[in-house]
Structures are given as structure tokens and as C-alpha cells.
Amino acid sequence: VQLQASGGGLVQAGGNLRLSCAASGRDFSTYVLSWFRQAPGKEREWVAAITWSGGYTYYIDSLKGRITISRDTAKNVIDLQMNNLKPEDTAVYFCAAEDMSTTGWGIPHENYMYSYWGQGTLVTVSS
């Protein structure tokens, strides 16, 4: 499995960014794909998830309403649209994938439960 994240950059507070994660190397039909982020000096935290089949979405409560996760099964890409960005959103954003048959078909929020990771893309929000 290969995950390639892109789309990060420098944006002013209030701006928007769309992150993408290109997934390859497997049939992802039983997979959940998530976005995590890690701010400087902080632990990596789960942000959002989407099931490859069905496209069911899940969000961290603190970001609901500002982010949208989506997937394009034809292109094997998941996106994270982030709106009204704040300086505290500054972090490296990672995409991750896990086969839900190994998670009891649940949506894991813990980073150790994900087997596959992209390289991360840096989002910097200036005030």
C-alpha cells in the first residue's frame, strides 16, 4: 500500500485548503482511510475518516463544520477540504489506511491502529 499526501502550504487565517491523498497498491474496498495531524510539540491526533465502501464519514468534534472528507474511488484519492483555517490548524497532516476487517469493522481513532501511512503534508496558517 502506498499513500501520497499533497496539498499543504501556507495560508492566511480564514483561508481554505484542500489536501489530497492518492492511494495505491491494494483493493481498498474493506478499508477506512483517515486524516491525522500533528502540531509542533503535540501528539498526532485523528481528524477525519471515510470508509472506502459506502463513503461513510466521521469527524473529530472540534473540527465539524470546517472540514469535509471525501473520496473518489475511480481515482483512488481521498480529499480533506479545510475551510476557515485558524493558526491552531498548523500541523503536518497525514493520511492513513487500515483494513476494517482487522478493527472489528470499527473506525479507529488511534494512530497505532493504522498500518499504512503517507508521508505527511505541512499546513501552516498565519495569523
Q: Tell me the pLDDT tens digit for each residue of 55-88.
A: 999 999 999 999 999 999 999 999 999 999 999 9
Question: Sign of dihedral through CA atoms 46, 48, 119, 11?
Answer: negative
Average pLDDT, stretch 37-45? 97
* Euclidean distance between CA atoms 9 and 92, whole angstroms: 10
How do 121-126 and 57-59 pair as beta strands? unpaired
Whether pLDDT at 123 is above 90: yes
Of 88, 94, 92, 87, nearest to 123 (Cα)?
92
Is the distance from CB of 27 to CB of 47 less than 8 angstroms? no
